[in-house]
Structure 1
Amino acid sequence: METTLAVLDASVGDTPAEANLRRELDADVTVYEISEGVFPPSVSASDWQFDGVVISGSQTSVYDDHDWIHEATEWVRRVYEADVPILGICWGHQFLAQALGGRVVDMGAYELGYESITRIGDDPLFDGVPAEFVSFETHSDRIAEVPPGAATLARNENGVQAFRVGSAYGVQFHPEYDRRTAEWVTDSKDLPDERIRAVLDGITDEAVEQSRAAKTVFDNFIDIAATHQPVRRRPSR
């Protein structure tokens, strides 16, 4: 039976987020545009049907005062308490950290382009991913504190690149990006021309090929979602 995933698309406007995730997730995917106020059913509803949840990137900051971010926070906390596997990507990584008790701050600079990342320890999400790997980064916020009880799974010089708390995972990098998306995102940044040119020059066939190893986290997450046996947590107070 095919694994079912709810994808929360937090991107704003016309972006390649949905197409990228549909391409990379080998599962039965239903996409909800949460930045437009469209959410999946409650995890306790009779029509809940999902084995796992994936949360996309976004052009916003997780600490911005938007109604849909507040609604998403309450929604994802209930899903976490029900012990449903969750994978947050970039904004989704930061959003999960904040929603579950961590802290996200402005870096004061962009991490942009293909960057090296170092794994820390072992976890099923990173099975088959090298100890040192490359993936595309585009963010100006970072996790300053992971949620209570969380384990950091990957880092680089700019901070936490992956964490796990319970059955929730966050990855700061974008394993779903193809070359066209990397170029599109880079061109859209309000940064000095020389910085943009340097990043575009780094989007090479070699870099794209090196980044393929990071895509393994998607297959691993689907396996986790398909085989996970939820243990309902004690409700938060």
Structure 2
Amino acid sequence: MKVLIVLNYATDKLWGQLTIESFSDHIRKHAPDAEIDVCHLAGGEDLPSSSKYDLVVLSGGTFNLISDVPLPWVEQVLGLIRQIAKDNSGTKLLGFCWGHQATQFALGGKLDVLNKSNIGIETIDLTTEGQSFFEGQSSLKIHKYHKRVVSEPAPGFKLLGRNNEILLSESGNIITFQGHPELTAEIARNLLDSDDGSYVDNSTVSSTTAPHDGLYIWDRLMKFVTNT
């Protein structure tokens, strides 16, 4: 399996490297021989063609898709999403937080801004289709760290988590989460410690150390990716 992790943030803080390691560890748990490329797109690296990969992972990020004029690297991400959605060539796409928002935005969905940032572990209720996808689970506990949301999904997406929290394309090759199943208590602590105030100063912070379903979510996602 060939995997591309696209980083939609540029940082030298510890949480950045920990996030890459978390993505890689979860993928290799199910695909030990996976070839994983990491593209620091927001840091200036060139984006490779998605056709080379079985899986593309879009990380979180902070660029404001609602009001800011897209930077060149943002345009590249949006183009990548549209290409994967159009080709339906077997490449799977996972989008988390900003990656969730960017996917929906690129394909015709709408975004909105919360009154307060949402940080911490939150229980997400699943729809009937979500319960089927997640093997009978009625809800999932997942890390959150965001202040923008998907207010209207793009056409052709099924709602797995209520309030547009988890969305699956009808084509079956794209799934996106508002939350962060890759986060751990350590990553969350480092994010909070390095926050410049743009999130934490206007936020509702719940526990970042409580039990969560990140491991289970990744187990289910890798089954989705490998069709097992």
Is the TM-score greater than 0.5?
yes
1:220 pairs with 2:225: no
Aligned 1:92-171 pairs, distance under 5 A: 92-122=99-129, 126-128=133-135, 130-155=137-162, 159-165=163-169, 166=171, 167-171=173-177
* Amino acid corresponding to residue 19 of structure 2 in structure 1: A
- Structure 2 distance, partners of 1:125, 1:90, is 23
Whether contact under 8 Å (1:116, 1:135) holds in the other structure is yes
Q: TM-score, normalised by structure 1?
A: 0.79
Does residue 1:187 correspond to 2:185, yes or no?
A: no
Distance change in 2, residues 1:153/1:222 (3 Å)? same
Count residues in correspondence. 210
Aligned to 1:233: none
Alignment match, 2:3: 5
* Closer/same/farther in 2, CA of residues 62 and 25 from structure 1, 3 Å limit: farther
Higher deviation after alignment, 116-125 or 71-80: 116-125
The one of 23, 26, 46 equivalent to 1:24 is: 26
2 CA distance for matches of 1:221 and 1:119?
15
Q: Give the letter for the 1:69 counterpart.
A: V
Q: How many Å separate the matches in 2 of 1:80 and 1:131?
A: 28
CA distance in 2, matches of 1:105, 1:128: 31
User: Identical aligned pairs, as a percentage?
Assistant: 22
Cα distance in 1 between the residues matched to 2:48 and 2:120: 36
Secondary structure of 1:25's match? helix
Q: TM-score, normalised by structure 2?
A: 0.82
Using a 3 Å threshold, how does the CA distance of structure 1 residues 121 and 5 change in structure 2: closer, same or farther?
farther
Q: Which amino acid aligns with 2:63?
A: T
Q: Tell me the CA shift for residue 17 of structure 1.
A: 2.4
1:116 partner SS:
strand
Q: Contact (CA 8 Å) 1:136, 1:174: kept in 2 or not?
A: yes
Aligned mates of 1:123, 1:153 — CA distance in 2? 4
Task: Say if 1:125 and 1:221, in contact at 8 Å, map to a contact too.
Answer: no
Q: Distance in 2 between matches of 1:137 and 1:129?
A: 23
Match of 2:72 in 1: 67
For 1:120 and 1:129, the matched residues in 2 are separated by 11
Structure 2: segments with no counterpart, 5+ residues: none
Give the superposed CA RMSD.
2.5
Structure 1 residue runs of 5 or longer lacking an equivalent are: 229-237
Render the CA deviation track for 1:75-108: whole Å, top value 9, x for unaligned: 2211221212111011111110001110112223
Kindly name which structure, 1 or 2, has the bigger radius of gyration based on alpha carbons.
1
Query: Structure 1 stretch 103-112 or stretch 141-150: which is displaced more?
Result: 103-112
What one-letter code is carried by the residue in structure 2 that aligns with 1:162? Answer: I
Q: Shift of residue 57 of structure 1?
A: 0.6
Partner of 1:234: none
